[in-house]
Structure 1
């Protein structure tokens, strides 16, 4: 991606080199209230989506797992329970505020080994190739500037036979639900953000970023282009969210 080109920030166009900072400002703003807003916005259903992701991960005791854009640690905590002290779970996030919230939360809940915390850009992961049995990214890929580069990096750091999990908002399959979802996203979410997080603009961006994210079939092709095989996706809540998976050959 050319450094003098533009990319989307929600529905707006911004220079490529500015998007990372703008996304960072959004998550600096929402970090402290991120968990409460997730429960409120999804009516708690995000927990079911994440449980489904864990169930499809194939992670076992002793595995090494990289949780990219791991934020406040929902997936990392579950992975840590599964892999045990013999395993390794790296909670990675590009945003220092989100990473600190996640680290504090995990320590307060008594989690130590096998957890590690790394501030990392998904487009340039600071890990050797063939490092992890599983790589996950939940509700983070849509915020990445160069998604193809990030997916290629995720594939690079997977071990042969390792699995990538991409949990992300996608395209509802029912047209009536899609209309209701649009109304909720663009009217209710910013209002909730203003009332709960004192920040309506960040939640307006989050709603817009969902609409700019590739649909299910496009994402499937992107995983295949990144070098993954046996790629598939599962529509959750009629496609409001989709889990994409792929295996490194």
Structure 2
């Protein structure tokens, strides 16, 4: 199995950890903390919210996060045979969409194939259909990588409940030091995760490293609203409503207070674009969704 071969190789994860000293000060929301404190606090946030993560996403965004993720998938437009790495994808939303998308493409391919072979006998058509039926992803695979065990646990439970198993793997790993060899993946996605990475520059370098030449980087993340009136309304909703929802639904005000604060500390669209370019990516651009509440950044490893 191609996927088992990929994961069984001892990755270059044993290389020296880069820049992980606890010295530099950085932000955890509006707090100033050391680098190591930030790592620990963010890990604790997602350990606390894992079981209610999906419910809170629906509540906070009124379900619009589903549309944003669908747009990301259509922008990716994966074909059968694509190998996707979804980083910080613990609960599986991007992975499941990827599988559904590729299956739909495969189904359309099969229908076109049968349409062009109308002179085949019923037996030949049946055998062809059965053969393709058992390879519904066309050798596509998605590897979900997340640093948080609880998030991965929730994702695996969802996958089992929804019947996803083919072409799907779960790996515990750090975005800043991915446990994969160079030039392995066709596409790298990170949805609502890069904001929680302590060293974004290292995560971007790792994304570049593990992508094949010609591979694509896609990042979906909360961003900055440029319209002053909408920005004020968005701030009002974020600071007055989201932490309350966190307390009511997840019993956790502080984690969702961090969430809204972290969005304000995150680099704006142009700054993140420059960081992606600095990591080596070409043809970097971004698309604002809902007036910049979120943005999709894209780049290629050439």
With the shorter chain as reference, the TM-score category is: over 0.9
Residue number in structure 1 paired with 2:85: 66
Partner Cα distance (1:160, 1:201) in 2: 42
Whether 2:167 is the aligned partner of 1:114: answer yes
How far apart are 1:82 and its partner, in Å?
3.5
Partner Cα distance (2:26, 2:42) in 1: 12
Residue number in structure 1 paired with 2:282: 229
How far apart are 1:174 and its partner, in Å?
1.1
User: C-alpha offsets along residues 172-209 of structure 1, whole Å, 9 cap, x if unaligned?
Assistant: 12110100011111110111111111110000000001
Whether 2:71 is the aligned partner of 1:52: answer yes
Residue number in structure 2 paired with 1:37: 56
* Larger mean Cα displacement after TM superposition, 76-85 or 64-73: 76-85
Whether 2:224 is the aligned partner of 1:174: answer no
Partner Cα distance (1:213, 1:241) in 2: 11
How far apart are 1:3 and its partner, in Å?
3.3
Partner Cα distance (2:57, 2:101) in 1: 24
Q: Tell me which of 240, 245, 248 is aligned to 2:293.
A: 240
Partner Cα distance (2:184, 2:160) in 1: 25
Counterparts of residues 79-158 of structure 1 (less than 5 Å)? 79-83=98-102, 84=137, 86-158=139-211
Partner Cα distance (2:202, 2:287) in 1: 23
Q: Tell me which of 191, 195, 204 is aligned to 2:248.
A: 195
Q: Secondary structure at the match of 1:205?
A: helix
User: C-alpha offsets along residues 46-84 of structure 1, whole Å, 9 cap, x if unaligned?
Assistant: 011101100111311111000000021110001123441
Partner Cα distance (1:113, 1:127) in 2: 20
Structure 1 residue ranges (4+ consecutive) displaced by more than 4 angstroms after TM superposition: none
How far apart are 1:85 and its partner, in Å?
5.3
Question: What runs of 5+ residues in structure 2 fail to find an aligned partner?
Answer: 1-18, 103-136
* Larger mean Cα displacement after TM superposition, 50-59 or 197-206: 50-59
RMSD, aligned α-carbons: 1.0
User: C-alpha offsets along residues 9-29 of structure 1, whole Å, 9 cap, x if unaligned?
Assistant: 011011111211110111111
Question: What runs of 5+ residues in structure 1 fail to find an aligned partner?
Answer: none
Normalising by structure 1, what TM-score? 0.98
Q: Secondary structure at the match of 1:127?
A: coil
Partner Cα distance (2:100, 2:240) in 1: 38
Normalising by structure 2, what TM-score? 0.81
Partner Cα distance (2:36, 2:51) in 1: 26
Q: Structure 1 pair 85/105, CA: closer, same or farther in 2 (3 Å)?
A: farther
Larger radius of gyration: 2
